[in-house]
């Protein structure tokens, strides 16, 4: 009976472990290119709401409203950075190769959640108050 030695998960100090800098560079290369499409998807949601309900939203275009929209865009981009808190540990795990092939699913799910949240925010927080 042939019993092979169990494989060990690489530890942070192992020489076989890729340097953190290369993992971070790989993560940035993957996520930052997709941030453009994330922002375009959220901008499309806002533009669709404005276009489809224009007469109702017209009074809402004030300087304060544009400032609030800018702050919400900053918050959406800050929340996008949460993907790094999942991506980097997954790259350090034993599932690294599988994760690198499948991490696009996290991007799709996160973008869909952001679209859902943007629709909710507009429908519940902005739309009822526009007269």
Quick: pLDDT tens for 87-106: 999 999 999 999 999 999 99
If one counts every other C-beta atom within 10 angstroms of the C-beta of residue 29, the result is 9
List, for residues 105-121, the tens digit of each pLDDT value. 999 999 999 999 999 88
pTM for this entry: 0.80
Annotated domain spans of the chain = 33-129
């Amino acid at each position: 009976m042939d019993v092979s030695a169990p494989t060990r998960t690489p530890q942070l100090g192992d020489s076989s472990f890729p340097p953190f800098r290369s993992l971070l560079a790989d993560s940035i290369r993957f996520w930052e290119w997709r941030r453009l499409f994330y922002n375009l998807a959220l901008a499309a949601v806002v533009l669709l709401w404005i276009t489809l309900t224009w007469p109702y939203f017209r009074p809402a275009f004030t300087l304060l409203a544009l400032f609030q929209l800018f702050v919400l865009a900053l918050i959406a981009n800050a929340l996008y950075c949460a993907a790094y808190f999942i991506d980097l540990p997954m790259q350090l795990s034993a599932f690294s190769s599988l994760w690198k092939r499948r991490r696009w699913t996290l991007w799709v799910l996160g973008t869909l959640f952001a679209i859902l949240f943007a629709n909710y925010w507009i429908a519940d927080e902005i739309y009822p108050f526009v007269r």
